[in-house]
Amino acid sequence: MNKLTQPTTLPNKLSGFGDNVFSIGTMRNYLSEGAYRSLAATLVQGDAIDPAIADEVADAMKTWALEKGATHFTHWFQPLTGATAEKHDSFFSPDGEGGVLARFSGRELTQGEPDASSFPSGGLRATFEARGYTAWDPTSPAFIKETNGVAVLCIPTIFCGYHGEALDKKTPLLRSGHALAQQFKRMAKLFGLDASGRAYATLGPEQEYFLIDRQHLARRPDFCQTGRTLFGRLPARHQQMEDHYFGNIKPRVLAFMAEVDSELWKLGVPAKTRHNEVAPGQFEIAPVFEEQNLATDHNMLVMTVLREVAEKHGFACLLHEKPFAGINGSGKHNNWSVTGPDGKNWLSPGDTPHDNAKFLATVCAIVAGVDTYAELLRATVATAGNDHRLGANEAPPAVISIFLGEQLSDIIAQLHNGGAKSSKHGGTIQVGVSTIPSLPRDVTDRNRTSPLAFTGNKFEFRAVGSNQSCAGPNVALNTIVTWGIDTVCSAIEKRLAGGDEFNTALGSVLKQLFKKHQRVIFDGDNYSQAWRDEAARRGLPCAMTTPKALEVLARADTAALFVKYGVFSERELLSRHDIYADTYEKTIMIEAECALRIARTQLAPAGLAYAAELRAAGQAAPVSKLAKRVGNLNVKLLAAADKLETAIAKEQPAQALVAMAAARAAADELEALVPAEQWPLPTYAEMLFAC
């Protein structure tokens, strides 16, 4: 029998991982012991940075960056455009003797003053007070971004106005993480746990995307300008065979994925899984989860790296939520959990009754929070792109509900039905801490249709759009859960003050809250009409479009929630409403203008030319029948174009959407009749199957 020879050394470290990150490990080689300890504490504990060490840290970072070939640094921030922003400054300044000196001060590291007048501020800042400030967020380490061989030191920063008003997505994320931590510490204390450690939210965002061959872009003005196809007919074969999901990855795509992974690893992004998704040309990448703020920054880097590496490989990476009509769109599964001050995942059912009580209290807080603020959660995924996806038969619907799985739902049903009953899997459940039995590790099954699903040790918010920053949805999740934990704690404290024993108090609070908010729990098929009807009966809110969904951001009760936990001031929140509503309208109007141009200058001419050809081809019945059909479609297309023009002139996005759909319907039918070589746009079949 052949024996397998064991290699003596197996490489179990990934060489290159984090090479471009000024991580705690790297710092050790560049800082004095004192500065190192101080900065490491800032990173690990989330303490404020000690200004006394800023100069030394900056100098160390500069030395490291120069060694890595960087000549410039930038404060890397996330304005309300939803993208990342950077403005490069070189380290060098004249030395007065005809040469230059590399300098980088503590002040340059910790604070920048970009002219902010061209970033959306939603009325937070008038142009005359255009100054914006960026400030280092030391909890997200500096990194070196290499693009085409150009290395730049990037320093993650927040971005705010003169009076400290948040002009970005990171500031509220940090604030909401802070609020969440406070409430979890409070709950830990109530549970008699050591609350001295740090509590923080964790995030693992799964990212979906499409690849098409780059050559098609030049001939698709819609892709170039709007990120999606405004016209295009489904080919005979698309995703019916269900053979793409987890299918064999084509060599060219695999080469791309391998380079994406290695670029991300250099940046310290723990990219973990890669696979083909449901639609042809669609793929997914997912990292190992990290602390939420870092994971959010890393997801921004994932999107950037995907786009850049795609270009190198002759692909275009499409991150739009719905690049192709009739074919699955792309989302971002936002896996959210929380690590308590005891260092444990509080959404992980544990081995002891005590752990399980903690777990159920956390689930209860989430259920109560999500039911109370479902509209807010819905608003955070409201974008023009996501409107095409949410509610289509592929992505969670616009009605927010929670999936808990059969067993957990059963336990909760028993809690509010009156306590001690037998669980589905045997054993006795009582409400009090000491009598909640161990729950099995895998207490959930899979449900792909729910917007917010409990998946064993985390909640997966599946409605997030592929192109969105994770920040917005997580600011809302954090704040909603903060409110939930606050509510649970306050209710328990009140009962304790009334003389209840802890277990009794906890039991009654959970029972009461689960009962009050059970309408938001739904384990069935969220795509079915039956659920839509049921949701309406339950009185669950359902905002089908972005403008409707965004309304909640302008409401006083929403402002009160954010103000209470110090996440947004009233003005900051209103500015978000205004910016997102404006972005929505602009997006639709750009699409409308682009569609009009394509319809009039490319598609209608092709249709009209073919109609003329057919008329010249004689009067035989099938020929004139076809000529009539083409002629009718041309008329429909041109009529829709006229309506589109009117909607654009009157700045009416809703009407523009209707006219665009009518133009598309006519054009997509024409596409099936006009000779292939005369059709001016690359077809879905050409674009979707190259990868």
Residue 137 sits at φ, ψ, to 5 deg, of -105, 90
Q: Among Mg ion, ligand ADP, none, what does residue 386 contact (CB within 5–8 Å per kind)? A: none
* Site for Mg ion, residues 572 to 591, rule: CB under 5 A: none
Query: Shortest gap between Cβ of 534 and Mg ion (angstroms)?
Result: 25
* Site for Mg ion, residues 611 to 630, rule: CB under 5 A: none
How many angstroms separate the most distant Cα atoms in the chain? 96
Q: Collapsing DSSP states into helix, strand and coil, what is residue 421?
A: strand
The identity of residue 55, as a single letter, is: D
Site string for ligand ADP, 457-496 (x = CB under 6 A): xx--------------------------------------
Quote the CA–CA distance of 397 and 671 in Å, as a whole number: 31
* Site for ligand ADP, residues 92 to 121, rule: CB under 6 A: none
Q: Among ligand ADP, Mg ion, none, what does residue 282 contact (CB within 5–8 Å per kind)? A: none
- Are the beta carbons of 463 and 389 closer than 8 angstroms? no
Q: Among ligand ADP, Mg ion, none, what does residue 345 contact (CB within 5–8 Å per kind)? A: ligand ADP
- Are the beta carbons of 560 and 441 closer than 8 angstroms? no
Our finding on whether 202 is near ligand ADP (CB under 6 A) is yes
Our finding on whether 333 is near Mg ion (CB under 5 A) is yes
Handedness of CA 402, 376, 339, 463 (dihedral sign): positive
Place of tokens 């110090």: 566
Q: Nearest to residue 454, comparing CAs of 392, 387, 520?
A: 520
Place of tokens 């792309």: 330
Query: Shortest gap between Cβ of 85 and Mg ion (angstroms)?
Result: 30
Q: Which is nearer to ligand ADP, 278 or 638 (CB)?
A: 278
Point out which span in 52-60, 66-74, 87-95, 202-210 binds ligand ADP (CB under 6 A).
Answer: 202-210
CB atoms within 10 A of CB 311: 13
Using DSSP, how many helices (H) and how many strands (E) does the chain show? 22, 19
Q: Collapsing DSSP states into helix, strand and coil, what is residue 335?
A: strand
End-to-end CA, the chain: 44
Q: Collapsing DSSP states into helix, strand and coil, what is residue 167?
A: coil
Our finding on whether 276 is near ligand ADP (CB under 6 A) is no
Our finding on whether 495 is near Mg ion (CB under 5 A) is no
Q: Among Mg ion, ligand ADP, none, what does residue 204 contact (CB within 5–8 Å per kind)? A: ligand ADP
Our finding on whether 269 is near ligand ADP (CB under 6 A) is no
Q: Among ligand ADP, Mg ion, none, what does residue 337 contact (CB within 5–8 Å per kind)? A: ligand ADP
Our finding on whether 206 is near ligand ADP (CB under 6 A) is yes
**H/E run at residue 482:** helix 471-497
Point out which span in 322-330, 331-339, 490-498, 657-665 binds ligand ADP (CB under 6 A).
Answer: 331-339
Point out which span in 283-291, 609-617, 660-668, 679-687 binds ligand ADP (CB under 6 A).
Answer: 283-291
Q: Which is nearer to ligand ADP, 237 or 441 (CB)?
A: 441
Interface with Mg ion: number of residues (CB under 5 A): 1
All residues at 6 or more sequence positions from 495 whose CB lies less than 8 Å from its CB, including other chains: 504, 505, 508, 509
What the block records as the tokens of 537 is: 């009966």
Q: Which is nearer to ligand ADP, 223 or 454 (CB)?
A: 454
Quote the CA–CA distance of 316 and 639 in Å, as a whole number: 33
Point out which span in 333-341, 397-405, 469-477, 612-620 binds Mg ion (CB under 5 A).
Answer: 333-341
Our finding on whether 345 is near ligand ADP (CB under 6 A) is yes
Handedness of CA 482, 484, 487, 493 (dihedral sign): negative
Our finding on whether 172 is near ligand ADP (CB under 6 A) is no
Q: Which is nearer to ligand ADP, 114 or 396 (CB)?
A: 396
Q: Collapsing DSSP states into helix, strand and coil, what is residue 314?
A: coil
* Site for ligand ADP, residues 436 to 455, rule: CB under 6 A: 455
Q: Which is nearer to ligand ADP, 223 or 289 (CB)?
A: 289
Q: Nearest to residue 288, comparing CAs of 206, 348, 379, 346?
A: 206
Query: Shortest gap between Cβ of 612 and Mg ion (angstroms)?
Result: 53
Q: Among Mg ion, ligand ADP, none, what does residue 458 contact (CB within 5–8 Å per kind)? A: ligand ADP
Q: Among Mg ion, ligand ADP, none, what does residue 287 contact (CB within 5–8 Å per kind)? A: ligand ADP
- Are the beta carbons of 332 and 322 closer than 8 angstroms? no
Our finding on whether 287 is near ligand ADP (CB under 6 A) is yes
Our finding on whether 337 is near ligand ADP (CB under 6 A) is yes
Q: How many angstroms separate the Cα of 254 from the Cα of each of 257, 288, 323?
A: 5, 20, 22
Binding residues for ligand ADP, per CB under 6 A? 202-204, 206, 286-289, 335-337, 345, 455, 457-458
Binding residues for Mg ion, per CB under 5 A? 333
